[in-house]
A = this chain, B = another copy of it.
Amino acid sequence: MRRQDNCPLCAADGGTLIWRGDRLRVIRAAEAGFPGFYRVVWNDHVAEFSDLSAADRALCMDAVALVERVLREQLAPTKINLAALGNMVAHLHWHVIARYDWDSHFPGAVWAPAQRERDGAREAQVAQLLPRVDAALERALDAWAA
Q: Mark A40-72, 1 if CB is under 8 A from B, else 0.
A: 000000011110001001100110110011001
Decide if A136 is an interface residue (CB 8 Å cutoff).
Answer: no
Decide if A81 is an interface residue (CB 8 Å cutoff).
Answer: yes
Q: Which B residues touch A61, using CB under 8 A?
A: 57-58, 61
Number of copies: 2
**Which of B78, B87, B112 lies in contact with A79, CB distance below 8 A?**
B87
Decide if A90 is an interface residue (CB 8 Å cutoff).
Answer: yes
| Contact in complex: A87, B99 (CB < 8 Å) | yes
| A contacts, CB < 8 Å to B | 47-50, 54, 57-58, 61-62, 64-65, 68-69, 72, 78-88, 90, 99, 106-109, 111-113
